[in-house]
């Protein structure tokens, strides 16, 4: 009794109260924020190699420190050395398995019914695009994909090439004005040039801004037969809302991740949340107008006039909206979401890739000169076949997508206990080898690191980290079978969710490169800003010390350099 009274007496001391209060708060927080589901951890997963969690705050922040430090490649180089498959910890004790073993990745991506997109990825994408292809699952996904597929066939892409050149020419005109004329300086660069970047006959230009406008207009014109008017040297609501959203999306990374894990935090009105809502509002208004106009047009068009016409994306979507058979029909909401998905997924990824490619050209003037020579050896507007027959252009696009893929990773979670096949054995924490298969419990998160696979020296040679388009002359490269759709790369992944727009993207990147390199040369800025790629919805270039996405390069007219 006396002992209990002495213990209670201790509560009068304020340090004891503070410690007890904090402990109680921590316990309540852990209970309130328990992740939605915890996978059953198998012995083999527990034994996977991986970085230790930091002391004291391990449960709270996991290995986020390492992840944040390497936002561009996503996987910390020290982790890569630990094994092709391993495990790390996200915030709030969320365990994540990583792999860049090509056999494991291929098997996971192929079994889309067992391995689905992770809820948190879907929730984030769903806020932007609604219930389109990027978020649909199972039978819904198969139905949506079947309906949209014809708009991405080789024939459909061939028919889009002239439109792509029209838009690329318009883009080149604006770029020309930016180079020649001070009046467009505000349009050309996000930040004014430093004194050393003011070079006669050349201009600092933010190519990300321009390429984003170009790729939006290409989707508008080629996919929806509509001028979205992003490529105008004036404010455009669609472009501004997309850029504002992308620039704010990862403002509060930890809170955003927490919101994606816990529904209870979803209502915090962060700036990025408001930006997402505003952007979705602009895109929805636009898609409602597109649907209304096309439905009216289809209703008045005589049926037989359609015979030779390759249907565009909007045709297919609006017709599916009117279809009588349920397995061929898309609801109003699904059509709207599909439009948002195509507009969004189709522009951010491709714009980033064109920027990366131009920067590689700026860093490697010798390759830029060789590529320009190849481009000048062909006609002004090469057709689909000729575009694909330019070997250096193909190798440069491949090398760009290898080193800076717009989606540097993707995450999957399994709906049942299963086994992941491995082609590269892993040494476990206890020193034993995990050889051919990794049993995993239902609800595991697996992080598929596209970048790590695409930059591994065992696959691409000792100079894997370097930009070297000539590596593809060696027929033994890549040295492993990569689970991908094109060029021996994983950039467009494989399986039922592989990128539906990969042919369109490749054609668009090539058309833009041919047009821009014919007329302009690209150099790094003399002030040598530290440009790095950050994870966003799609990877995005930024400059150290400056806010928002941008790709500033020094641009001059080719005639001026001759
Ligand atoms: C360089 C450009 C591009 C790259 C590297 C790229 C990459 C990818 C990747 C990796 C995925 C799989 C995402 C996942 O499941 O985790 C994907 C899906 C998708 N992409 Fe692309 N993409 C590009 C351009 C485009 C374009 C131009 C469009 C359309 C106009 C597009 C539309 C889509 C759609 C709709 C999906 C969802 C497919 C499904 O789940 O069935 N992408 N893309």
The pLDDT value recorded for residue 38 is 65
The pLDDT value recorded for residue 451 is 93
pLDDT digits (tens, 9 = 90+) for 228-242: 999 986 778 888 888
Q: How far is the CA of 511 from the centre of ligand 1 (A)?
A: 19
> Looking at the structure, do residues 407 and 432 belong to the same domain, yes or no?
yes
Is residue 135 domain-resident?
Answer: yes
State the pLDDT confidence band at 547, using cuts at 50, 70 and 90. confident
Residue 153 has pLDDT above 60, yes or no: yes
Ligand 1 pocket: which of 106, 345, 536 to mutate (most atoms <8 Å of CB)?
345
Question: Which atom of ligand 1 is closest in space to residue 407's alpha carbon?
Answer: 10
Q: How far is the CA of 142 from the centre of ligand 1 (A)?
A: 15
Q: Tell whether ligand 1 has an atom less than 6 A from the beta carbon of residue 549.
A: no
Question: Which atom of ligand 1 is closest in space to residue 141's alpha carbon?
Answer: 41
The pLDDT value recorded for residue 453 is 95
Main-chain phi, psi angles of 97, to 5 degrees? -90, 140
Q: How far is the CA of 429 from the centre of ligand 1 (A)?
A: 36
Residue 1 has pLDDT above 60, yes or no: no
Tokens 């000792």, residue located = 462
The pLDDT value recorded for residue 69 is 66
The pLDDT value recorded for residue 278 is 87
Q: Tell whether ligand 1 has an atom less than 6 A from the beta carbon of residue 512.
A: no
State the pLDDT confidence band at 149, using cuts at 50, 70 and 90. very high
Is residue 297 domain-resident?
Answer: yes
The pLDDT value recorded for residue 255 is 65
- Does residue 312 have a cis bond before it (omega within 30 degrees)? no
pLDDT digits (tens, 9 = 90+) for 442-452: 999 999 999 99
> Looking at the structure, do residues 151 and 10 belong to the same domain, yes or no?
no
Question: Which atom of ligand 1 is closest in space to residue 496's alpha carbon?
Answer: 41
Provide the 3-class DSSP secondary structure of residue 437. strand
pLDDT digits (tens, 9 = 90+) for 201-212: 999 999 999 999
pLDDT digits (tens, 9 = 90+) for 391-413: 999 999 999 999 999 999 999 99
Q: Whose CA is nearest to atom 7 of ligand 1?
A: 492
Q: Tell whether ligand 1 has an atom less than 6 A from the beta carbon of residue 497.
A: yes
Average pLDDT over the chain reads 87
> Looking at the structure, do residues 14 and 92 belong to the same domain, yes or no?
no
Terminal Cα-to-Cα distance of the chain (whole angstroms): 96
Q: Whose CA is nearest to atom 14 of ligand 1?
A: 410
The whole-number average pLDDT for the span 460-465 is: 95
The pLDDT value recorded for residue 485 is 83
Q: Tell whether ligand 1 has an atom less than 6 A from the beta carbon of residue 483.
A: no
Q: Tell whether ligand 1 has an atom less than 6 A from the beta carbon of residue 62.
A: no
What sections of 33-96 are H helices per DSSP? 43-46, 58-61, 64-69, 77-82
Q: Tell whether ligand 1 has an atom less than 6 A from the beta carbon of residue 407.
A: yes
The pLDDT value recorded for residue 76 is 79
> Looking at the structure, do residues 367 and 501 belong to the same domain, yes or no?
yes
What is the 3 state secondary structure string of 307-369?
CCCCCCHHHHHHHHHHCCCHHHCCCHHHHHHHHHHHHHHHHHHHHHHHHHHHHHHHHCHHHHH
Token pair recorded at residue 166 = 């029209």
502's CB contacts (< 8 A; 6+ apart) are 485, 486, 492
Q: Whose CA is nearest to atom 10 of ligand 1?
A: 492
Q: Which has more pLDDT, 2 or 430?
A: 430
Q: Which has more pLDDT, 110 or 21?
A: 110
Binding-site residue positions for heme: 499
DSSP 453: H
Q: How far is the CA of 220 from the centre of ligand 1 (A)?
A: 17
State the pLDDT confidence band at 4, using cuts at 50, 70 and 90. low
Q: Tell whether ligand 1 has an atom less than 6 A from the beta carbon of residue 493.
A: yes
The pLDDT value recorded for residue 152 is 93
pLDDT digits (tens, 9 = 90+) for 346-390: 899 999 999 999 999 999 999 999 999 999 999 999 999 999 999
The pLDDT value recorded for residue 31 is 57
Is residue 38 domain-resident?
Answer: no
Closest to 215 (Cα-Cα) out of 339, 98, 113, 349: 349
Q: What DSSP line would sit under 18-33, residue for residue?
A: HHHHHHHHHHHHHHHT
Q: How far is the CA of 303 from the centre of ligand 1 (A)?
A: 32
State the pLDDT confidence band at 490, using cuts at 50, 70 and 90. very high
Token pair recorded at residue 1 = 């009794």
The pLDDT value recorded for residue 251 is 66
Q: Tell whether ligand 1 has an atom less than 6 A from the beta carbon of residue 500.
A: yes
pLDDT digits (tens, 9 = 90+) for 267-311: 667 777 788 888 888 888 888 898 888 888 888 876 655 566 777
State the pLDDT confidence band at 227, using cuts at 50, 70 and 90. very high
State the pLDDT confidence band at 487, using cuts at 50, 70 and 90. confident
Q: Tell whether ligand 1 has an atom less than 6 A from the beta carbon of residue 455.
A: no
The whole-number average pLDDT for the span 90-112 is: 91
The whole-number average pLDDT for the span 132-136 is: 91
Question: Which atom of ligand 1 is closest in space to residue 109's alpha carbon?
Answer: 15
> Looking at the structure, do residues 89 and 17 belong to the same domain, yes or no?
no
Containing structural domain, residue 410: 43-561
The whole-number average pLDDT for the span 476-485 is: 92
Q: Which has more pLDDT, 7 or 318?
A: 318
What CA–CA distance (Å, rounded) separates 402 from 78?
20
The pLDDT value recorded for residue 461 is 95
The pLDDT value recorded for residue 240 is 85
Is residue 513 domain-resident?
Answer: yes
The pLDDT value recorded for residue 397 is 98
CATH number at residue 392: 1.10.630.10
Is residue 408 domain-resident?
Answer: yes
> Looking at the structure, do residues 20 and 86 belong to the same domain, yes or no?
no
> Looking at the structure, do residues 26 and 47 belong to the same domain, yes or no?
no
Whole-Å CA distances, 424 to 101, 433, 438, 458 = 6, 10, 11, 11
Is residue 336 domain-resident?
Answer: yes
> What interface predicted TM-score (ipTM) does this complex get?
0.99
Q: Tell whether ligand 1 has an atom less than 6 A from the beta carbon of residue 145.
A: yes
pLDDT digits (tens, 9 = 90+) for 12-32: 677 777 777 777 776 666 655
The pLDDT value recorded for residue 435 is 92
Is residue 118 domain-resident?
Answer: yes
pLDDT digits (tens, 9 = 90+) for 504-515: 999 999 999 999
The pLDDT value recorded for residue 207 is 95
Is residue 37 domain-resident?
Answer: no
> Looking at the structure, do residues 88 and 23 belong to the same domain, yes or no?
no
Tokens 């040369």, residue located = 521
> Looking at the structure, do residues 442 and 494 belong to the same domain, yes or no?
yes
The pLDDT value recorded for residue 282 is 87
Report the residue count for the chain: 562
The pLDDT value recorded for residue 181 is 81
> Looking at the structure, do residues 60 and 81 belong to the same domain, yes or no?
yes
> Looking at the structure, do residues 290 and 265 belong to the same domain, yes or no?
yes
Q: Tell whether ligand 1 has an atom less than 6 A from the beta carbon of residue 134.
A: yes
Percent of the chain's residues with pLDDT above 70: 87
Q: Tell whether ligand 1 has an atom less than 6 A from the beta carbon of residue 108.
A: no
Whole-Å CA distances, 201 to 125, 373, 516, 560 = 43, 22, 17, 7
> Looking at the structure, do residues 227 and 153 belong to the same domain, yes or no?
yes
The pLDDT value recorded for residue 62 is 77
The pLDDT value recorded for residue 551 is 95
The tally of domains found in the chain comes to: 2
Q: Are 203 and 526 in contact (CB under 8 A)?
A: no
pLDDT digits (tens, 9 = 90+) for 185-198: 666 777 889 999 99
The pLDDT value recorded for residue 2 is 65
């Amino acid at each position: 009794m006396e002992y209990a009274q002495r213990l209670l007496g201790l509560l009068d001391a304020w340090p004891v109260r503070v410690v007890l209060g904090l402990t109680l708060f921590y316990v309540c927080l852990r209970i309130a924020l328990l992740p939605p589901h915890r996978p059953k951890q198998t012995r083999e997963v527990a034994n996977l190699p991986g970085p230790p969690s930091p002391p004291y705050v391990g449960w709270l922040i996991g290995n986020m420190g390492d992840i944040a430090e390497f936002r561009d490649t996503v996987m910390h180089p020290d982790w890569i050395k630990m094994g092709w498959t391993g495990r790390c910890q996200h915030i709030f004790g969320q365990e994540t398995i990583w792999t860049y073993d090509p056999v494991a990745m291929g098997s996971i991506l192929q079994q889309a019914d067992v391995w689905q997109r992770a809820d948190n990825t879907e929730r984030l994408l769903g806020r932007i695009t609604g219930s389109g292809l990027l978020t649909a699952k199972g039978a819904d996904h198969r139905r949506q994909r079947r309906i949209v597929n014809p708009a991405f066939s080789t024939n459909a892409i061939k028919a889009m090439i002239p439109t792509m050149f029209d838009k690329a020419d318009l883009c080149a005109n604006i770029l020309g004005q930016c180079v020649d004329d001070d009046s467009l300086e505000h349009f050309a660069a996000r930040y004014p040039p430093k004194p050393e970047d003011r070079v006669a006959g050349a201009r600092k230009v933010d190519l990300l801004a321009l390429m984003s406008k170009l790729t939006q207009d290409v989707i508008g014109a080629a996919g929806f037969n509509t001028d979205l008017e992003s490529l105008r040297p004036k404010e455009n609501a669609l472009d501004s809302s997309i850029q504002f959203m992308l620039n704010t999306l990862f403002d509060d990374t930890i809170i955003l991740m927490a919101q994606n894990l816990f529904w209870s935090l979803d209502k915090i009105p962060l700036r990025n949340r408001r930006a997402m809502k505003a952007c979705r509002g602009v895109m929805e208004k636009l898609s409602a107008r597109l649907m209304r106009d096309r439905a009216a047009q289809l209703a008045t068009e005589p049926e037989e006039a359609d015979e030779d016409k390759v249907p565009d994306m909007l045709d297919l979507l609006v017709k599916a909206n009117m279809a009588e058979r349920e397995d061929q029909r898309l609801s109003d909401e699904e059509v709207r979401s599909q439009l948002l998905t195509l507009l969004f997924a189709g522009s951010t990824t491709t714009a980033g890739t064109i920027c990366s490619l131009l920067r590689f050209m700026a860093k490697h003037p010798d390759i830029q000169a060789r590529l320009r020579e190849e481009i000048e050896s062909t006609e002004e507007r090469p057709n689909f076949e000729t575009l694909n027959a330019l070997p250096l252009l193909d190798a440069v696009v491949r090398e760009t997508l290898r080193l800076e893929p717009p989606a540097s990773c993707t995450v999957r979670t399994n709906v049942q206990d299963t086994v992941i096949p491995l082609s590269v054995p892993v040494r476990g924490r206890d020193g034993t080898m995990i050889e051919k298969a990794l049993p995993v419990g239902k609800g595991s998160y697996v992080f598929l690191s596209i970048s790590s696979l695409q930059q591994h020296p065992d696959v691409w040679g000792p100079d894997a980290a370097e930009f070297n388009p000539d590596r593809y002359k060696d027929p033994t490269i890549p040295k492993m079978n990569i689970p991908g759709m094109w060029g021996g790369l994983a950039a467009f992944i494989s399986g039922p969710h592989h990128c539906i727009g990969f042919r369109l993207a490749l054609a668009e990147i090539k058309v833009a490169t041919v047009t821009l390199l014919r007329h302009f040369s690209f150099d790094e800025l003399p002030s040598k800003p530290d440009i790095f790629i950050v994870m966003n919805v799609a990877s995005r270039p930024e400059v150290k010390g400056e806010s928002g996405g941008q790709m500033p390069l020094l641009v001059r007219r080719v005639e001026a350099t001759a």
